[in-house]
Amino acid sequence: MENQETDKVYALAFGAHPDDVELSCGATLLTIIDDGQTVAVCDLTQGEMGTLGTAETRKAESALAAKVMGYRKRITLDLGDSGLYYTEHALKEVIRVIRHFQPEVVFINPPDERHPDHIKASRLIHDAAFYAGLKKISTTHNGGQQQPHRPLHLLYYMQFKHFDPSIIVDVTATFERSRKGILAFSSQFYQKGVEDEPETMIKRREFLTGLEARARYLGEQIGTRYGEGFTLPGPLGITSFSTVFPEN
């Protein structure tokens, strides 16, 4: 039985944990939505091993983030926080998601990172994006056979480790709004008046200020107020020169 049922979107952003996407490329996703394009998000794990919050609170938080950000859809897989491995099962799950959303652009965790889950997610999603295009790899959704689909563009976003970005997106218009998507994950970040919880790397009061400082720095590199940086797995092909290098 052929089943063409999809939720086609323009961009699909993956994260190893709920909040990876909002912290790293949320403002860029908002610029895409502002352009009238559709965005979906897929978290590979439920974030249940995080020091703060439970799988339940993080589920409610990621649903709230999806709502305030305006995603078409957000799905959360259960591939095991801190137990994420490169298995055939995990690969097939990610292929299934890519074929379901049929994105042109896919955002991925960067290949070199502090949290091992980010590194493993990066490899897994990168490879799944390739295999999703192979006709002979069969996957089903709701009992129906899925069609092969290979995204045109993969972009690695920036997390804990800095890298020299190959592209910087001007997010001046959306940066402030993207904060709402981050603050939806209230169990994870510093809140005024709540001082008695264990401090984690991202719970520090300075963390959100640090994120803003980086966005300001990246913006400065392209002469705007805020920027988000990305690298690509290969060279960026340009078919319309003047669209990428417009007249002043």
Give the residues lining the site for Zn ion (CB under 5 A).
16-17, 20
Closer to Zn ion by Cβ: residue 23 or 171:
23
What would the 3-class secondary structure string for the chain be?
Answer: CECCCCCCCCEEEEECCCCHHHHHHHHHHHHHHHCCCCEEEEECCCCCCCCCCCHHHHHHHHHHHHHHHCCCEEEECCCCCCCCCCCHHHHHHHHHHHHHHCCCEEEECCCCCCCHHHHHHHHHHHHHHHHCCCCCCCCEECCEECCCCCCCEEEEECCCCCCCCCEEEECCCCHHHHHHHHHCCCCCCCECCECCCCCCCCCCHHHHHHHHHHHHHHHHHCCCCCEEEEECCCCCCCCCHHHHCCCC
Nearest CB to Zn ion, comparing residues 16 and 97: 16
Least distance between Zn ion and beta carbon 244 (Å): 31
CB of 142 to Zn ion, least distance (A): 29
Q: In whole angstroms, how close is the CB of 41 to Zn ion at the nearest point?
A: 13
* Shortest distance in whole angstroms from residue 35 CB to Zn ion: 27
Nearer to Zn ion, 51 or 221 (CB): 51
Cβ-based nearer residue to Zn ion, 16 or 168: 16
Report the nearest approach of Zn ion to the CB of residue 16 (Å): 5
Question: Distance from first CA to last CA of the chain, Å, rounded?
Answer: 53
As measured in angstroms, the least distance from the Cβ of 158 to Zn ion is: 13
β-partners of residue 228 are: 169
- The CB-of-118 to Zn ion minimum distance in angstroms stands at 6
Question: Quick one: 102 or 182, whose CB is closer to Zn ion?
Answer: 182
CA 63/CA 80 separation, integer angstroms: 19
